Structure 1
Amino acid sequence: EIAIGASEKITTPKFALELVVLYPFLLGYSILQAIMEKAGQNSWQVSAICVENFNDASYRRLLEDLDRRQEKKFVIDCEIERLQNLLEQIVSVGKHVKGYHYIVANLGFKDISLERFMHGGANVTGFQLVDFSTPMVTKLMQRWKKLDQREYPGSETPPKYTSALTYDGVLVMAETFRNLRRQKIDISRRGNAGDCLANPAAPWGQGIDMERTLKQVRVDFILLLAVNYIPFILQVGYWNDMDKLVLIQHEPTLGNDTSAMENRTVVVTTILVRILLNS
């Protein structure tokens, strides 16, 4: 939903949004589906291109073809390795300059190398799940840097946003079980194991209690909607489930030159309201 909100913000009142979505076969399907549904409601013109089996030459041919069609706005939904490779090919064909806008549907914006884009002038919007300025994350990173690489292989590189997702998942489950214990609910299978193979399946009472408690757990986290090459962080918006992405207007702080205000960092705060639990 945040990726869709960011797409809406680059739409001008006079023109319908023309967007190109680049995605691998399975990973990006959910975001693609959401964008296509929104496109039908808002009369967006969307081109969806699967890049599952693309190599460097394929990326370059695709970018050159899109340039001939004068496509300038892209949503890229790829894993970090494929994304970095695609960004390198964008630079190689000179599509990293002013006038292009790339929305990266990835939660590890700071894991991406955007130095060439900073010099070229293209707008790159991304999402940063982990706010490294918070005290908890700062303390964690200090401990991380002190780890012995021989004892903890992989500690030479900083943790990725997927580690934060794992942490949040464990935190939600731990809080769920704490709430169940406070309610004196026995979560063992004693007395009612249920029968998953029955027709219809016999419900597991404790599982119903766990599902109910999971839905009551709330976890707060900060999500940064960031745009590259702005020299400072300016909070210009917020996110919640009711209002979605809302931008806040600020008075210009850079004199008469407001061109830099086009590249903004939005601090988005949300609360987890839905838990998806795969059995």
Structure 2
Amino acid sequence: YRPIFRQLKARKEKRIVLDCNVDKIGEILKQAQQVGMLTEEQSYVITSLDFHSLNLDDFKYGRTNITAFRLVDVSNKRVLETVNEWMRGELQRGVDLGFAPRNLRTETALMYDAVHLLARGLTQLDHGRLVTIKPLDCDLTDTWIDGHSLYNYMKMVELDGLSGNIKFDTRGFRSEFELQVLDLVETGVRKVGTWSKGSGLFLDVRQSVNEKRRPTLFNKTIVVSTILSDPYTMYKESSHKLEGNDQFEGFCVDLVEEMSKKLKFNYTIKLADDGVYGSSIRDADGNIVGWDGIIAEVISGVADIGIGDLTINTDRSQGVDFTTPWMNTGISILFIAPTKQPPSLFSFLSPLSLDVWFYMSAAYVFASLILFALARFTPYEWVNPYPCIEEPDELENELTLSNCLWHNWGSLMQQGSDIAPKAVSTRMVAGMWWFFTLIMISSYTANLAAFLTVERLVSPISSAEDLAKQTKIKYGALLGGSTARFFLESKYGPYQKMGDFMKKNKKQVMVPSNQEGVEKVLESNGGYAYFMERQV
């Protein structure tokens, strides 16, 4: 078996299923150990139901993840009592069964249960009808007349045997049996879970982790792969030259430090060679041919674990296993916020639109002309300029065109005027103009106060769809990141269009780090938007 294990080692296979006779398992595991394929990096699943009966002292200290199954619960009190009683009875007859109760094999237990099942079926058959006996020849086609009845009685029997609960369905298959999931630890074979047809697989994770997994990192040095990304992993600012782990700081660095304290291991932080998070490399047919970034270093064994603001997705899950995420986030658009422009010389005109200013000016001129015309026609506006002369040759009218304009302008400015209309008609026009100016001045004052105190900023984009509909603002994401892959592989129309744009303008819009993406947004003055994780 050594050549096979050497091939598996060369291919860096770490998950192996061993399906063979139980008597060969010990030799196979020994040869796997000899070629270095029985270490902490390998995981074995053994299909034999008699794995518990083997002598595993040579393998239980290697910390290899070996999982097996067992039908017979040899730790069950009733099973132990039955086997001990059986062994004592055979010893009285001078027969040594040759095994310890805890090494009871599945075939032996099934044979024992089969005899009891047959006896129970014959008993019920005998109670139900008269059983006839006749000799049969195996070479002939004759059958026992009570054979089918015995078969049906045996299907109805339900009992607790050495192999657990014995019960059959209508087709004669055994149902409601339970398999125990075993794990090899330093103390021997240990039950870590169960499987049944009805309940499925149930694992007691605490037993497996506490008994075996936790001590595996004790006093070991592991390599942690990461990339620079604020505020998760950053270079520490210092006036002195720093080396090793001391040159890094950030959330991920603190997280690894706390893990090392709890699990008692040492670590070395290593930046990924290509500086990317990692994704699959595919050929023209879409098949995975390699990986890059942190993922590649973990798969190749350059690093033991990878840490960072690494998004868990289906693509990466095909290459590595992830822990429970320590942050759930989403994609956001980083875009420079519109800034308030400094007030200009004509900012006082901003509270009202140009149309309103035009119509108000026209109303001012029109009201002044109406007032002037009525003052010309009404006799009550013509007065004696010389009070000492009772019948002067000329009368004077104060509401000249210039005075009418001045009168209306004064009321518009809320300053009043010494000139006042005297006739009813002119006073009516003046009153309507005053009411108009009251409304306009109140509206202008309110809008001016709001304009000066409230900053009205209108962003040109509010969603990813807005970016997809325009061409003025460029947009991109982290090169080789999960955000970029999301757009490149999306089937949704607007997102697919954006993915095509990013792919076509890769050199102009894609950046190698989040920091460069932020700087590009700041330098673009509103001409570039960057997709990144919300918390980043």
Q: Aligning the two structures, in what range does the TM-score lie when normalised by the shorter sequence? A: 0.5 to 0.7
Q: 2:158 aligns with which of 218, 230, 235?
A: 218
Could you tell me how far apart the structure 2 residues matched to 1:251 and 1:228 are?
A: 12
Could you tell me how far apart the structure 2 residues matched to 1:61 and 1:225 are?
A: 30
Q: Which amino acid aligns with 1:218?
A: E
Counterpart residue number, 1:134: 76
Shift of 1:60: 0.3
Q: 1:175 aligns with which of 111, 120, 124?
A: 120
Q: 2:64 aligns with which of 102, 122, 138?
A: 122
Could you tell me how far apart the structure 1 residues matched to 2:158 and 2:215 are?
A: 37
Structure with the greater relative contact order (CA < 8 A, sep ≥ 6): 1 or 2? Answer: 1
Q: 1:109 aligns with which of 28, 51, 57?
A: 51
Residue 39 (structure 2) pairs with residue 97 (structure 1): yes
Could you tell me how far apart the structure 2 residues matched to 1:92 and 1:67 are?
A: 12
TM-score for the superposition, normalised by structure 2 = 0.31
Contact persistence 2:52–2:189 (CA under 8 A):
no
Shift of 1:61: 0.4
Could you tell me how far apart the structure 2 residues matched to 1:237 and 1:136 are?
A: 20
Could you tell me how far apart the structure 2 residues matched to 1:252 and 1:166 are?
A: 32
Q: Report the more deviating stretch, 238-247 or 108-117.
A: 238-247
Cα gap change, 1:260 to 1:217, in 2 (>3 Å):
farther
Q: How many equivalent residue pairs?
A: 196
Contact persistence 2:67–2:184 (CA under 8 A):
yes
Could you tell me how far apart the structure 2 residues matched to 1:251 and 1:150 are?
A: 43
Cα gap change, 1:95 to 1:152, in 2 (>3 Å):
same
Contact persistence 2:19–2:46 (CA under 8 A):
yes
Counterpart residue number, 1:84: 26
Q: 2:200 aligns with which of 237, 244, 249?
A: 244
- The SS at the match of 1:118 is coil
1:39-92: CA deviations, max 9, x gaps? xxxxxxxxxxxxxxxxxxxx0001101121222222222222212211111111
Q: Report the more deviating stretch, 204-213 or 143-152.
A: 143-152
Q: 2:104 aligns with which of 144, 160, 170?
A: 160
Q: Which amino acid aligns with 1:165?
A: L
Could you tell me how far apart the structure 2 residues matched to 1:232 and 1:117 are?
A: 9
- The SS at the match of 1:227 is strand
Contact persistence 1:128–1:224 (CA under 8 A):
yes
Counterpart residue number, 2:456: none
Cα gap change, 1:96 to 1:251, in 2 (>3 Å):
closer
Counterpart residue number, 1:209: 149
Q: 1:188 aligns with which of 128, 132, 136?
A: 132
Shift of 1:226: 0.7
Could you tell me how far apart the structure 1 residues matched to 2:213 and 2:88 are?
A: 39
Give RMSD over aligned pairs. Answer: 4.0
Could you tell me how far apart the structure 1 residues matched to 2:46 and 2:195 are?
A: 18
Q: Which amino acid aligns with 2:5?
A: L
Shift of 1:136: 2.5
Structure 1 unpaired stretches of 5+: 1-58, 262-279
Could you tell me how far apart the structure 2 residues matched to 1:235 and 1:71 are?
A: 26
Could you tell me how far apart the structure 1 residues matched to 2:201 and 2:121 are?
A: 29
Could you tell me how far apart the structure 2 residues matched to 1:125 and 1:106 are?
A: 10
Counterpart residue number, 2:317: none
1:199-226: CA deviations, max 9, x gaps? xxx7754222122122222344164221
- The SS at the match of 2:37 is coil
Contact persistence 1:149–1:156 (CA under 8 A):
no
Percent identity between the two aligned chains: 25
Could you tell me how far apart the structure 2 residues matched to 1:72 and 1:259 are?
A: 20
Please show how residues 227-242 of structure 1 align to structure 2 within 5 Å. 227-229=183-185, 237-242=193-198
Residue 214 (structure 2) pairs with residue 259 (structure 1): yes
- The SS at the match of 1:228 is strand
Shift of 1:126: 1.4
Structure 2 unpaired stretches of 5+: 165-177, 217-536
Q: Report the more deviating stretch, 133-142 or 227-236.
A: 227-236
Counterpart residue number, 1:5: none
Q: Report the more deviating stretch, 208-217 or 137-146.
A: 137-146
Contact persistence 1:132–1:138 (CA under 8 A):
yes
- The SS at the match of 2:39 is coil
Q: Which amino acid aligns with 1:245?
A: L
Could you tell me how far apart the structure 2 residues matched to 1:189 and 1:145 are?
A: 34
Q: Relative to total residues, which structure has the larger helix share, 1 or 2? A: 2
Could you tell me how far apart the structure 2 residues matched to 1:237 and 1:155 are?
A: 29
TM-score for the superposition, normalised by structure 1 = 0.56
- The SS at the match of 1:110 is helix
Could you tell me how far apart the structure 1 residues matched to 2:195 and 2:208 are?
A: 22
For the pair shown, which has the larger CA radius of gyration, 1 or 2? 2
